[in-house]
Structure 1
Amino acid sequence: MTTEYSGTGDPARSLALLWRTRERPTRRGRPDLTVARIVRAAIDLADTEGLPALSMRRVAEHLGVGTMSLYTHIPGKGELLDVMVDTVYGEPEDPPTPTAHDWRTRLTHIAHTNWNRYLRHPWLLQVATTRPPLGPHVIAKYENELRAVDGIGLTDLEMDAVVTLLNSYVHGAVRGAVDIAQAAGHTGMTEEQWWHAHAPYLEKALDPRRYPTAARVGTTAGEEYGATTDPTRAFTFGLDRILDGITVLITNRPDTTPPAPGR
C-alpha cells in the first residue's frame, strides 16, 4: 500500500495555505481557480481513484486547466496533501460532538466520527500524519478530542495518551471495513456472496477433528456474520473494551488527597 507523508512541503508555504494568509494568484492565474477549488478536486480524485492517482497533473486534468495554473496557487504535491488532510478534518459532524453528556459518550461519538471520515476518504489511511499539518481543522480536532476527557481525573499526559490511543485504534480497526468495501468494488462480489460460494470448502478445510476450536468458533461466527468477519461489530466491541480500560484507569487511581490534620 502506497504511503504518503504529511508535512513534506515547505513549512512556510504550507502554513500560509492552511491558514489562507496569502491567497493571491499571479496575474497569469485564472480568476476562477482558487485554493479551495483545487483542494476539493484533489480530494474528489483521491476518493474515487485512490491516493496513487494523485498528482498535480491529474488534478489539473480533473479541473480542465493546465498544470502550471495550479502552481500559481499551490507550490506542489506536498503542500496540497497537507491542505487536503486539514480540509477533510474540518468536514461538519452530524450531529456535532455532544457536550452535555459523560466522557464515555463523547469519546464514542468522536471514535465514530473518525471511523466515518475514513470510510468517506479511505486514502487517509495511506497518509502518515506523525508530522501533522498544523492547520486550523487539525488543531481544532485535537482540541475537541482533548476536551472530551478534560476534567475527568486524568493528567495532561494521560489525556494526550487517551486521545492517541483512541485515534490509533480507529485507524487500525477501520482498515477491515475499507478493505471489504474495496474488495467488493474490485471483484464484483459482496462478502455475503463470497461466503456462500466458499462456505462448503471452508467447512472441509476446518476439520473439527484437527481444528476443534477454530471449527466451532469459525462456524458460529460465519453463520452470525454471513461473512468471515463483521468489521463494524468488531469495532464497537473493541471500542467498548478501550473505554472500559479508561474507566479502570480513572476509578482505580490511588487516593492522593492529603490526610486531615492530626491524622
Structure 2
Amino acid sequence: MDRYEQIAGELRERIEHGELRPGDRVPSTREITRRWNVAMATATKVLAELRGRGLVRAVPGVGTVVAGSPGPSPAPTAERPPGRQLPRRPAPEGVLTAERIVAAAVAVADGEGLEALSMRRVAAELDVATMSLYRHVPDKDGLVHLMMDRVFAGVSFSAADAALGWRARLELAAHLLWRTFRAHPWLASALSVTRPQPVANALPFGEWVLSALIAEGLDVPSVFTAYLTLFNYVRGTALNLEMEAAAEAATGQDAEAWMDQQEGMFMELVAAYPTFVRLTREGYDFDLDQLFEFGLQRLLDGLAVLIGRVAPDGRTADDRTADGRTADGQDSRSPRS
C-alpha cells in the first residue's frame, strides 16, 4: 500500500468513527506534510483520494471539510471528456471576487509550486466553474501578476526605519525580501530581472533601496546597478527554495536524506581531492539561511568600499586622483613631508 493510501485510510477511519464530523475541517496539504512527514505531492494525493470517495469537499473561504453538513455533499463527477466543461452551479452573485481568486491562487502556489497552478485548479479550490474566473482575472499570466502584487503588499517599512544608515536599511530590505521568498517559494521564479514586471506594490521596496544609496552620493548608474545586484542576489538564492521543494516532492526525500544516500558515490568521486575528502569527513551543516546571510554581508561589505570612495561632492577617489589629489585628499603633485 502506498503511503498516501495509508494516510487517507487513517483519515477515513476518523471520519467513519465520528472523530471528524460533517463540516469539520480536515488537515490541509501543508498540515499533512508536517504531521506525517511526507512530500507535498503525497499530501495532495491524500486529499484527492478522500475527494474521490466523496468523503470531503472544498468550501470556499474555509478549506477542505468532511462532506455532509452544512449542506449536501456534491455528487461525484464523471470523467470529463477533453475540451469540455461539465455544467456547474454558479456561485451566488457577488461571492466570487478577484481578491478571493488571487488568495486561492497564492495558497495553491505556496503549497504546491507554480507548476501546480492553473485556472481549473483555482476554480476547483473555490468550487466554481473555471470560466467564471475570467470575469475577474484575464488569464493565468494576469493572475500570477496579481499574486505577485498581493504578496509585495505585505513588504513594508516603518517611519522609524527611515532613520537607519544605508547599510542597515539595505540589510532590512534584503531580510524582508528573503522572508517573503521563504513564505512564497514560487515568487523568485515568477519575478524577472531582465524583463521586470510592473508590480505596483513592489515599487516601495525599490524606492527604499534606491533612496538609501542615492543619499550616499553614488551616481545614478551605480545606484541602480547596486540595487539590481542586491535584488538579484536575494532572488537568486531564493530560487533554491522552489527547486528543493520540487525535488522533495518528486523523490520523497529531503535534502539531508538525499545527501546521505549519495555519500558513498561522492566519496569515490572526490577520493583524489584531499580538500573535498576532508570537508566530507568533517561534515558541513548546509543551511540556506546561513548561506544567504553570509553572502548578504559580503555584498554589503563591497558596497561599503564603493561608498567609502565617494567624497561629499560626489566625486570618487579615482576622480580626485586624476585631478592631482590622492585618495586621502593630498595633492599628488606636491612633495610629501
- Return the TM-score normalized by structure 2: 0.59
Quick check: which one's helix share is greater?
A: 1
Q: Judge conservation of contact 2:155–2:180 (CA < 8 Å) in 1.
A: no
Give the alignment partner of residue 233 of structure 2, picking from 157, 169, 174: 169
Select the structure of larger CA radius of gyration.
2
Distance, in Å, in 2 between the alignment partners of 1:191 and 1:147 is 39
Counterpart for residue 238 of structure 1: 295
Distance, in Å, in 2 between the alignment partners of 1:140 and 1:33 is 29
Distance, in Å, in 2 between the alignment partners of 1:35 and 1:74 is 7
Distance 1:199 1:95, change over 3 A: farther
Distance, in Å, in 2 between the alignment partners of 1:64 and 1:91 is 27
1:37 aligned onto 2:100? yes
Distance 1:58 1:107, change over 3 A: same
Pairwise CA distance, 1:211: 1.2
Distance, in Å, in 2 between the alignment partners of 1:106 and 1:187 is 40
1:114 aligned onto 2:171? no
1:115-194 equivalent positions in 2, closer than 5 A: 115-129=178-192, 130-194=194-258
Distance, in Å, in 1 between the alignment partners of 2:178 and 2:97 is 30
Counterpart for residue 252 of structure 1: 309
1:224 aligned onto 2:284? yes
Counterpart for residue 164 of structure 2: 101
Q: Judge conservation of contact 1:85–1:124 (CA < 8 Å) in 2.
A: yes
Pairwise CA distance, 1:181: 4.3
Distance, in Å, in 2 between the alignment partners of 1:78 and 1:196 is 39
**Percent identity of equivalent pairs:** 36
Counterpart for residue 72 of structure 2: none
Counterpart for residue 84 of structure 1: 147
Distance, in Å, in 2 between the alignment partners of 1:184 and 1:97 is 41
- Return the TM-score normalized by structure 1: 0.73
**CA RMSD, aligned part only?**
3.0
Q: Judge conservation of contact 1:149–1:159 (CA < 8 Å) in 2.
A: yes
Distance 1:186 1:150, change over 3 A: same
Pairwise CA distance, 1:177: 4.1
Q: Judge conservation of contact 1:206–1:215 (CA < 8 Å) in 2.
A: yes
Distance, in Å, in 2 between the alignment partners of 1:201 and 1:97 is 53
Q: Judge conservation of contact 2:185–2:238 (CA < 8 Å) in 1.
A: no
Q: List runs of 5+ in structure 2 lacking aligned partners.
A: 1-90, 311-315, 326-337
Distance, in Å, in 1 between the alignment partners of 2:261 and 2:135 is 54
Q: Judge conservation of contact 2:248–2:255 (CA < 8 Å) in 1.
A: yes
Counterpart for residue 60 of structure 1: 123
Q: Judge conservation of contact 2:155–2:176 (CA < 8 Å) in 1.
A: no
Pairwise CA distance, 1:182: 4.3
Give the match's secondary structure for 2:137: coil
Pairwise CA distance, 1:190: 3.4
Pairwise CA distance, 1:93: 4.9
Q: How many residues are treated as equivalent by the alignment?
A: 226
Pairwise CA distance, 1:117: 1.4
Amino acid in the other structure paired with 2:149:
D
Q: List runs of 5+ in structure 1 lacking aligned partners.
A: 1-27
Amino acid in the other structure paired with 1:46:
A
Distance, in Å, in 2 between the alignment partners of 1:116 and 1:232 is 10
Higher relative contact order (CA 8 A, sep 6+): 1
Distance, in Å, in 2 between the alignment partners of 1:184 and 1:94 is 34
